Structure 1
Amino acid sequence: MTHSATHPAPHPSKPVRQSIALDGTVYETTLTRKYAQRKPFVPKDPSRLTAIIPGLILDLLVKPGDPVRSGQSLLVLEAMKMQNHIAAHDAGTIKAIHVAPGDTVAKGQLLLEFQ
């Protein structure tokens, strides 16, 4: 499957027509203002652990300097009366902890950093 697209600069008050070629077929589409103003994709930084849901930090199971293995529980986050054990995605060492038990966190908030 191959595809290509042109990326014209969108005008804020006018929809932008765009041609997209996919597997040799050209499709015409319109980019909406909402699409043109979307946030660009930023890949996740593996050295930073952020909250995947809002909730309350119940317990920290590690401290700075601790070595951790992949899958090891790092902290307990309560959300909607459920206790979620947040695990390490990879082996590493805890560099910094940005939350404490009793803290309320928002989705996307930085929890821990790894070295």
Structure 2
Amino acid sequence: MELSEAQRFRLLMGKVRRFFYIVFRPRYVEEWRKRRKGVCRHCGACCKLAHKCPHLKTRPDGSSYCSIYKIRPPNCRAFPIDPIDLQERDIINPNTPCGYWFECDGRFLKRRWRKNYDS
């Protein structure tokens, strides 16, 4: 799947946004972590945001894993931080839903797009 410039820019800015939150807004990260539900489906989409992580490996059954899982960076440990991360992840792999979602006041937040980046 070929990404548009707008999509690539959004994914790059997402990396910067996650770094900022991890370093400067840890309470924001923790508040959203409390609302995060689900489990990882090992699809590898989160490891392909902006670029494919060199530590992403594929098993014979097609599932993905991290070759440095025990010492992975904070951005990886916290993903997805908030619903925006799921939106960005869906740019990479829209046909396979992420195993995580967020619950707020009984509502599920997963795919709330601010702008259509499909073009």
Which bin holds the TM-score, normalised by the shorter protein?
under 0.3
Larger radius of gyration, structure 1 or 2? 1
* The structure with more strand, counted as a fraction of residues: 1
**TM-score scaled by length of structure 2:** 0.22
**TM-score scaled by length of structure 1:** 0.22
